[in-house]
Amino acid sequence: MIRKTRLFTPGPTPLLPAAQFAMAAADMHHRTPEFRALFQKVLAQLKVFAGTKNDVLLLSCSGTGAMEASVSNLTSPGDRVLVLTAGKFGERWTALAKAFGCEADVVSAPYGETFDLDEVKKALKPEHRVVYMQATETSTAVRHDVEAIAKIVTATDALLVVDGITGLGTTHLDVDGWGIDVLIGGSQKAVMIPPGLAYLSVSERAWAAMEKSKNPRYYFDLRKERKNAAKGESAYTPAVALIAGLGAALDYIAGQAGGDLEKGRIALIDNAQVNAEATRAGLVALGFTLFAPTAPAAAATAVAVPEGMDSGAVVKALKAKFALVTANGQGEMQGKIFRVAHLGFFDYLDTVAFLGAMEHIAKDTLGLPVEYGQGVAAAQKVYAKAVNSAQ
C-alpha cells in the first residue's frame, strides 16, 4: 500500500505547497527592486505575525543563530543574566550566555514542568541585564507563562528575551502589551517552510542596550541588519529562496482569514490549540500518559510511554508502518517520551490520521488493551465541541 511521508515533528513541519513552489521559482538577485519589494513585504508581514510594532529582522540561519544574536548584541563579558530553563532549549540559553562570557544565574523547572513564579521573582536581581526564556520548551512540549514572567521582569530594568521558535503561531503572545524586548521565531515551525531563516522583534529598550554591549558580533550584528532593512535589504546575502517561500506562507496564513494576517495568525493559533487538545484527549483515551499535563504546549504534545517500554519503538513503528515521522525525547528524555507536533500546516484530519495510526501501534505493536476508534472518538468530541462553540 502507498504510505505518504507525514512530518509530525515540532520542526521541520509539513511544507506548504505554495511555499515550495515559490522557493523553487525564486531565481532572484538580492540587490534588485524585485527582491527589495519582496523583503519589505515579508518584514511587514512578520511584524503582524509576531504581533508587534517593534522592528522585526530576518536572519539567514536557524533559530539558534537568532538566539546567539540576542546574547552577543545585548550583553558584555562579565554581565549577569538570568536564564529560565526547563529543558534542552532553556539549557541552550545557559550555554550561549557562558560562551559570550556572561555569568548565568539559572531558575530551572523539572523536565515536563514550568517555573514557579515566586522562584523567578526571588531569583531576579537588579544586576541582571537580561532574562532569557522560551515561550514553549520544545523538548518537553511545555508552555511557559510568558505574560506572568513579563510582569515580573518589566518591574525591573532587565530586558526580556523570549525564544518563541515554537511558541509563535501556537500561543498568544502580546509583545508590546507585555513588554517582550526580543521575540525569536524560526522558519521551519508555524510558518510552514524549511529551516534556514530566523526572525526576531527588537524593542526600543533592546536597541538602546545594544549601544553599550561589548560582545563581538558581525554576521549577527542587529544594528547593521536594521540599517539595511530600512532600505529593503539584508546586511549579507540572504537566503532568497526561503524568503520567497516565507512570503507565500504568510500570504496563505492571511488567506485563511480573508486576507487579514492578524486574524489569520489567531486562526492558526486556535487551529494548533484545538489539534493539541484533541491529540491529548485521544492519547489519554488510549491509555498513554501526557508528559506535561499541567502546562501543555499547543506546539507539540509530549507523550510518556508506559514504564519499561521504549518511546523509540513507537517512533520507529509509526515510521515503518505509516511513514509518519514523530520525534523521540532529547537527551535524558530519549526512550521515555515521544513528541507529536501541531504547529503550522496541520489540520484536524491530520490529527485523526495520527490517532488512527496510534491505535494500531497501541493495539498491535505495544499490545495495550485498546479498541480501534477509541482515541479518534475522544478527539472527535473535542473537535465537535470546539467547532460548535466557535459558531
Segment 172-211, which members bind its own copies (CB under 8 A)?
186, 188, 194-196
Sign of CA dihedral 284, 288, 289, 295: negative
- Count the site residues for its own copies by CB under 8 A: 55
Q: Is the Cβ of residue 1 or residue 29 nearer to its own copies in the bound state?
A: 29
Task: For the segment 249-308, give every residue that binds its own copies (CB under 8 A).
Answer: none
By rule CB under 8 A, what string of x and - marks binding of each residue 29-68 to its own copies? xxxx---------------------------xxxxxx-xx
Nearer to its own copies, 63 or 375 (CB): 63
CA 239 from chain center: how many Å?
A: 20
Q: Which helix (H) or strand (E) holds 260?
A: none
Q: What span, in angstroms and rounded, lies between the C-alpha atoms of 91 and 140?
A: 12
- C-alpha–C-alpha distance, residues 55 and 374, integer Å: 48
Does residue number 104 form part of the binding site for its own copies (CB under 8 A)? no
Rounded to a whole number of angstroms, the minimum distance from the CB of residue 83 to its own copies is 14
99 contributes a contact to its own copies by CB under 8 A:
yes
**Helices 374-390 and 261-285, interaxial angle, to 10°?**
150
- Cβ proximity to its own copies: between 237 and 294 the closer is 237
The set of residues, in sequence order, having a beta carbon less than 8 Å from that of 330 and lying 6+ positions away, is: 87, 88, 139
Q: Of 5 and 294, which CB lies nearer to its own copies in the complex structure?
A: 5
SS3 call for 37: helix
Eight-state DSSP code of residue 196 = S
CB of 194 to its own copies, least distance (A): 4
Contact between 23 and its own copies per CB under 8 A: yes
Q: Round to the nearest angstrom and report the end-to-end CA distance of the chain.
A: 39
Question: Which of 37, 174, 208, 216 contacts its own copies by CB under 8 A?
Answer: 216
In contact, 38 and 67? CB cutoff 8 Å: no
Residue located via cell numbers 550583553: 75
* AA identity, residue 275: N
Minimum gap (Å) between residue 366 Cβ and its own copies: 22
Q: Which member of 154, 215, 228, 256 binds its own copies (CB under 8 A)? A: 215
C-beta of 51 vs 247, nearer to its own copies? 247
Helix (H, G, I), strand (E, B) or coil at 56: strand
Amino acid letter, 317: A
Positions in the binding site for its own copies (CB under 8 A) = 5, 7, 9, 11-12, 14-15, 20-21, 23-32, 60-65, 67-68, 71-72, 95-96, 99-101, 186, 188, 194-196, 215-221, 236-242, 325, 327
